[in-house]
């Protein structure tokens, strides 16, 4: 944060000395950078902390949901008796359409395992935007086990918590909160790591980065727990920040453009079909006059083609949406091992017209997919436990950070809030270093808008406070220094 420090204006005295903010005199690079990092980390922690706290709590709750979700909707997800053979896919789809003739079929997910149901997803006028009506069909008997409004593959309970974590159920406006958190999390984490390493080096305890000081005074003990836990979880925090930004509203758009420019995007099949579509009446996927007509056995034939092509469950079958386009079948195994192979199927000959295997994806596209899956806890119970521990760790770090801040308040006049680290930190850097900080902050502010906007607000507010301090000290010299604050 950039601020102006009136020269000669003394800092407000406190009743205790804070060892973490005491000035140093050795003049090395660590001592030049420490005041800047301290003020930066302070302001980021105090002002962005609430966003991170809410994201940590809602994310931890989300990580606990999958088992609850499956228990709540056990009737829809499973069958009463496992049969000896499944009905043809077209008969399962026809059973769903008899029970729910409304809307358009957008995709079908065959039962991924024995004893589970087939899902037929419909786009209907009475379903909220961004949701589908999913009909659950017993693949052995054709009985419809129920219908739910889902968000993609997420059932209502999980979809509710997903929206809570993503946007607090406030729509696009609410998405800003999570993007602020993701934009600043890595900054706060890395700044805190640098400060903690410096603190341990100054106190000759560099080998104890990962362990707290249990016998230290109260604030020192809190600081040591704050720093040690932060080191334990920092890799996870950076991973959550990066993966969260990849599908954020504004930064995610810039990241998407960068991935496209670097050819780091996921590969997809061409849906252009070389033949014309049949006209036999059956299960229309759409009421549009330009939409194709699907034959009675088409779902069965496409499914059989996919299995002969080596695709494995879970997979999504998507019918063509217009004449001249092909069916697509895509694996959707998000856990480990991941399966994302996909094919396009000609609607007349039912031959494979295009294929893209997960092995053909660029490495960065694979890493992005895996990072997002890990962020969502899709790699199984170990992944979920790791996310819960990470969330608890982040909450504890934030709470201890606020506790340290509160304990810095003056003991003789508790009406005042604790003071911030001293101004003028940017002035302690060399000119080239200070210019580099400003340039990097500007670039990051453009690429990550919800990093740049709060930073600009911090600068304006702190500059205004500096100007007010100048007016209250008319006898003080007018020289001023600038800084990017913590």
Kind of pairing between the strands at 144-150 and 132-137: antiparallel
The token duo for 485 is 């604050």
pLDDT of 476 > 50? The answer is no
3-state class percentages of the chain: helix first, strand second, coil last, to nearest 5: 50, 15, 35
pLDDT of 25 > 60? The answer is no
Domain residues for the domain of 355 are: 267-360
pLDDT of 244 > 90? The answer is yes
3-state SS, 269-332, equals: CCCECCCCCCCCCCCCCCCCCCCCCCCCCHHHHHHHHHHHCCCCCCEEEECCCCCCECEEEEEC
Q: In 3-state terms, what secondary structure has residue 345?
A: strand
pLDDT of 411 > 80? The answer is no
Q: Is residue 376 part of a domain?
A: no
- In this structure, the answer to whether residues 437 and 405 fall within a common structural domain is yes
Q: CB-based contacts of 388: which residues, under 8 Å, 6+ apart?
A: 60, 63, 64
pLDDT digits (tens, 9 = 90+) for 85-110: 999 999 999 999 999 999 999 999 99
Q: What pLDDT shows up at residue 441?
A: 92
Q: What is the mean pLDDT of residues 416-423?
A: 61
The token duo for 439 is 């340039």
Task: For the chain, report the end-to-end CA distance as a whole number of angstroms.
Answer: 6
The token duo for 45 is 């922690």
Q: Is residue 69 part of a domain?
A: yes
Number of domains observed in the structure of the chain:
3
- In this structure, the answer to whether residues 25 and 161 fall within a common structural domain is yes
Domain end (from 94, 125, 154):
154
- In this structure, the answer to whether residues 261 and 342 fall within a common structural domain is no
Q: Is residue 366 part of a domain?
A: no
Q: What pLDDT shows up at residue 190?
A: 95
Q: What pLDDT shows up at residue 428?
A: 78
Q: What is the mean pLDDT of residues 185-213?
A: 93
Beta bridge partners of 154: 151
Q: How far is 384 from 15, CA to CA, in rounded Å?
A: 45
- In this structure, the answer to whether residues 405 and 479 fall within a common structural domain is yes
Query: Which of 239, 195, 179, 177 minimizes the C-alpha distance to 39?
Result: 195
- In this structure, the answer to whether residues 353 and 276 fall within a common structural domain is yes
Domain end (from 360, 392, 419):
360
- What predicted TM-score, i.e. pTM, was given to this entire model? 0.83
pLDDT digits (tens, 9 = 90+) for 26-73: 458 888 888 888 888 988 888 899 999 999 999 999 999 999 999 999
pLDDT digits (tens, 9 = 90+) for 103-135: 999 999 999 999 999 999 999 999 988 899 999
Q: How far is 177 from 49, CA to CA, in rounded Å?
A: 11
Structure confidence at residue 323 as a pLDDT band (50, 70, 90): confident
Domain end (from 124, 154, 184):
154
Q: How far is 438 from 483, CA to CA, in rounded Å?
A: 10
Q: Is residue 371 part of a domain?
A: no
- In this structure, the answer to whether residues 165 and 130 fall within a common structural domain is no
- In this structure, the answer to whether residues 175 and 90 fall within a common structural domain is no
Query: Which of 176, 178, 146 minimizes the C-alpha distance to 162?
Result: 178
- In this structure, the answer to whether residues 389 and 332 fall within a common structural domain is no
DSSP string, 438-449: HHHHHHHHHHSH
pLDDT of 145 > 80? The answer is yes
The token duo for 365 is 């596209």
- In this structure, the answer to whether residues 214 and 83 fall within a common structural domain is no
- In this structure, the answer to whether residues 169 and 294 fall within a common structural domain is no
Q: Is residue 51 part of a domain?
A: yes
- In this structure, the answer to whether residues 237 and 344 fall within a common structural domain is no
Structure confidence at residue 478 as a pLDDT band (50, 70, 90): very low
- In this structure, the answer to whether residues 476 and 396 fall within a common structural domain is yes
Q: What pLDDT shows up at residue 292?
A: 66
Question: Residue 104 is part of a domain; what is its CATH number?
Answer: 3.10.450
Kind of pairing between the strands at 327-331 and 315-318: antiparallel
Q: Is residue 90 part of a domain?
A: yes
Of the two residues 274 and 251, the one the predictor is more confident about is 251
Q: Is residue 372 part of a domain?
A: no
Distances (CA, A) of 241 to 64, 165, 233, 234, 445: 20, 14, 12, 10, 16
Residue pair 34/445 in contact by the 8 Å Cβ criterion: no
Of the two residues 18 and 124, the one the predictor is more confident about is 124
Q: Is residue 58 part of a domain?
A: yes
Query: Treating both helix axes as pointing N-terminal to C-terminal, what angle do 65-72 and 29-63 enclose, rounded to 10 degrees?
Result: 10
């Amino acid at each position: 944060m950039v601020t102006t420090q009136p020269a000669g204006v003394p800092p407000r005295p406190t009743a205790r000395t804070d060892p973490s903010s005491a000035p140093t005199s050795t003049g090395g690079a660590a001592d030049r950078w420490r005041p800047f990092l301290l003020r930066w980390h302070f302001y980021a922690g105090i002002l962005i902390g609430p966003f991170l706290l809410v994201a940590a709590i809602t994310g931890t709750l989300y990580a606990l949901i999958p088992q609850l979700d499956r228990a709540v909707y056990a009737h829809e997800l499973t069958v009463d008796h496992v049969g000896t053979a499944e009905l043809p896919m077209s008969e399962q789809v026809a059973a769903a359409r008899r029970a729910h003739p409304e809307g358009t079929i957008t995709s079908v997910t065959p039962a991924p395992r024995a004893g589970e149901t087939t899902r037929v997803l419909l786009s209907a006028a009475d379903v909220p935007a961004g949701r589908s009506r999913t009909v659950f069909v017993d693949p052995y008997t054709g009985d419809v086990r129920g219908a739910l409004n889902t968000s993609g593959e997420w059932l209502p309970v999980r979809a509710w918590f997903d929206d809570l974590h993503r946007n607090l159920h406030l729509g696009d406006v609410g998405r800003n909160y999570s993007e602020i958190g993701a934009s600043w999390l890595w900054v706060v984490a890395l700044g805190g790591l640098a400060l903690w390493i410096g603190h341990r080096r100054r106190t000759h305890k560099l080998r104890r980065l990962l362990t707290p000081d249990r016998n230290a005074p109260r604030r020192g003990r809190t600081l040591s727990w704050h720093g040690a836990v932060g080191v334990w979880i920092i890799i996870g925090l950076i991973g959550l920040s990066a993966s969260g930004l990849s599908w954020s509203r504004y930064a995610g758009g810039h990241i998407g453009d960068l991935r496209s420019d670097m050819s780091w995007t996921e590969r997809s099949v061409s849906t252009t079909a070389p033949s014309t579509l049949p006209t036999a009446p059956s299960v229309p996927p759409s009421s549009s006059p330009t939409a194709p007509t699907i034959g009675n056995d088409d779902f069965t034939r496409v499914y059989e083609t996919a299995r002969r092509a080596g695709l494995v469950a879970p997979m999504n079958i998507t019918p063509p949406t217009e004449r001249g386009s092909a069916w697509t079948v895509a694996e959707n195994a998000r856990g480990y091992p991941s399966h994302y192979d996909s094919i396009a199927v000609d609607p007349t000959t039912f031959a494979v017209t295009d294929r893209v295997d997960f092995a053909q994806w660029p490495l960065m596209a694979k890493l992005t997919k895996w990072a997002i899956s890990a962020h969502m806890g899709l790699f199984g119970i170990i992944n979920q436990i790791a996310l819960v521990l990470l969330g608890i760790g982040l909450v504890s770090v934030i709470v201890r950070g606020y506790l340290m801040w509160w304990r810095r308040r003056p003991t003789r006049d508790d009406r005042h809030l604790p003071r911030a680290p001293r101004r003028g930190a940017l002035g302690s850097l060399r000119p080239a270093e200070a210019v580099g900080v400003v340039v990097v902050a500007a670039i990051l502010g453009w690429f990550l808008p919800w990093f740049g906007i709060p930073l600009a607000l911090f600068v304006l507010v702190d500059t205004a406070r500096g100007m007010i301090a100048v007016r209250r000290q008319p006898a003080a010299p007018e020289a001023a220094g600038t800084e990017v604050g913590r």
